[in-house]
Homo-oligomer: A and B are copies of this chain.
Protein backbone atom coordinates (compact mmCIF):
# COMPACT_ATOMS: atom_id res chain seq x y z
CA UNK A 1 0.00 0.00 0.00
CA UNK A 2 2.84 2.36 0.82
CA UNK A 3 4.50 1.36 -2.46
CA UNK A 4 1.27 2.10 -4.30
CA UNK A 5 1.04 5.53 -2.67
CA UNK A 6 4.68 6.28 -3.46
CA UNK A 7 4.11 5.35 -7.10
CA UNK A 8 0.95 7.44 -7.44
CA UNK A 9 2.73 10.41 -5.86
CA UNK A 10 5.62 10.02 -8.29
CA UNK A 11 3.33 9.71 -11.32
CA UNK A 12 1.42 12.73 -10.07
CA UNK A 13 4.67 14.73 -9.97
CA UNK A 14 5.30 13.94 -13.63
CA UNK A 15 1.82 14.24 -15.11
CA UNK A 16 -0.17 16.63 -12.92
CA UNK A 17 -0.11 19.30 -15.63
CA UNK A 18 -2.18 17.00 -17.85
CA UNK A 19 -5.00 16.72 -15.27
CA UNK A 20 -7.96 19.04 -14.74
CA UNK A 21 -8.04 21.46 -11.81
CA UNK A 22 -10.69 19.34 -10.06
CA UNK A 23 -8.65 16.18 -10.45
CA UNK A 24 -5.59 17.93 -9.05
CA UNK A 25 -7.57 19.29 -6.14
CA UNK A 26 -8.89 15.84 -5.07
CA UNK A 27 -5.51 14.18 -5.61
CA UNK A 28 -3.73 16.76 -3.48
CA UNK A 29 -6.23 16.53 -0.66
CA UNK A 30 -6.17 12.73 -0.71
CA UNK A 31 -2.50 11.98 -1.36
CA UNK A 32 -0.58 15.03 -0.22
CA UNK A 33 -2.70 16.34 2.66
CA UNK A 34 -3.91 12.86 3.66
CA UNK A 35 -7.60 13.80 3.94
CA UNK A 36 -10.09 10.91 4.09
CA UNK A 37 -12.70 10.56 1.33
CA UNK A 38 -15.32 11.62 3.91
CA UNK A 39 -13.39 14.79 4.72
CA UNK A 40 -12.91 15.67 1.04
CA UNK A 41 -16.64 15.05 0.53
CA UNK A 42 -17.52 17.51 3.31
CA UNK A 43 -15.05 20.12 2.10
CA UNK A 44 -16.12 19.85 -1.53
CA UNK A 45 -19.85 19.28 -1.08
CA UNK A 46 -19.60 16.30 -3.46
CA UNK A 47 -20.60 12.73 -2.61
CA UNK A 48 -17.96 10.41 -1.18
CA UNK A 49 -18.62 7.97 -4.04
CA UNK A 50 -18.10 10.64 -6.73
CA UNK A 51 -14.79 11.63 -5.17
CA UNK A 52 -13.72 8.02 -4.90
CA UNK A 53 -14.57 7.46 -8.60
CA UNK A 54 -12.76 10.62 -9.63
CA UNK A 55 -9.59 9.69 -7.75
CA UNK A 56 -9.59 6.11 -9.08
CA UNK A 57 -10.12 7.39 -12.63
CA UNK A 58 -7.30 9.90 -12.18
CA UNK A 59 -4.99 7.13 -10.98
CA UNK A 60 -5.83 5.15 -14.10
CA UNK A 61 -5.07 8.18 -16.25
CA UNK A 62 -1.69 8.61 -14.55
CA UNK A 63 -0.88 4.96 -15.27
CA UNK A 64 -1.96 5.41 -18.90
CA UNK A 65 0.27 8.47 -19.30
CA UNK A 66 3.15 6.51 -17.80
CA UNK A 67 2.50 3.64 -20.18
CA UNK A 68 2.62 6.08 -23.10
CA UNK A 69 5.45 8.40 -22.06
CA UNK A 70 7.34 6.39 -19.41
CA UNK A 71 8.70 9.53 -17.73
CA UNK A 72 8.89 7.99 -14.26
CA UNK A 73 10.60 4.84 -15.53
CA UNK A 74 13.14 6.87 -17.53
CA UNK A 75 13.68 9.09 -14.50
CA UNK A 76 14.52 6.08 -12.31
CA UNK A 77 17.00 4.65 -14.82
CA UNK A 78 18.60 8.05 -15.38
CA UNK A 79 18.87 8.76 -11.64
CA UNK A 80 20.54 5.43 -11.08
CA UNK A 81 23.12 6.13 -13.79
CA UNK A 82 23.68 9.67 -12.52
CA UNK A 83 24.28 8.25 -9.04
CA UNK A 84 26.98 5.99 -10.49
CA UNK A 85 28.59 8.91 -12.32
CA UNK A 86 28.37 10.93 -9.13
CA UNK A 87 30.24 8.19 -7.27
CA UNK A 88 32.95 8.18 -9.92
CA UNK A 89 33.25 11.96 -9.54
CA UNK A 90 33.55 11.51 -5.76
CA UNK A 91 36.25 8.86 -6.12
CA UNK A 92 38.18 11.07 -8.54
CA UNK A 93 37.56 14.08 -6.29
CA UNK A 94 36.50 15.94 -9.45
CA UNK A 95 34.63 19.12 -8.48
CA UNK A 96 33.99 20.24 -12.06
CA UNK A 97 32.31 16.93 -12.83
CA UNK A 98 30.26 16.99 -9.62
CA UNK A 99 28.85 20.42 -10.48
CA UNK A 100 27.71 19.28 -13.95
CA UNK A 101 26.04 16.19 -12.49
CA UNK A 102 24.23 18.30 -9.89
CA UNK A 103 22.98 20.53 -12.71
CA UNK A 104 21.54 17.54 -14.60
CA UNK A 105 19.85 16.16 -11.49
CA UNK A 106 18.17 19.53 -10.93
CA UNK A 107 16.52 19.44 -14.36
CA UNK A 108 14.45 16.38 -13.47
> Interface on A for B, CB 8 Å cutoff?
14-15, 17-18, 65, 68-69, 71, 74, 77-78, 81-82, 84-85, 88, 92, 94, 96-97, 100-101, 103-104, 107
Contact = CB atoms under 8 A, between A and B. Distances in A.
B17 A68 contact: yes
Integer count of this chain's copies in the complex:
2
Q: Identify whether the interface residues of A are mostly helix, strand, loop, or mixed.
A: helix
Given A17-B68, A18-B69, A84 B100 contact: yes
B81 A103 contact: yes
Given A74-B107, A77-B107, A104-B78, A18 B68 contact: yes
30 contacts: A14-B69, A15-B69, A17-B69, A18-B65, A18-B68, A18-B69, A69-B71, A71-B71, A74-B107, A77-B107, A78-B104, A78-B107, A81-B100, A81-B103, A81-B104, A81-B107, A82-B104, A84-B100, A85-B85, A85-B97, A85-B100, A85-B101, A85-B104, A88-B94, A88-B96, A88-B97, A88-B100, A92-B92, A92-B94, A97-B97
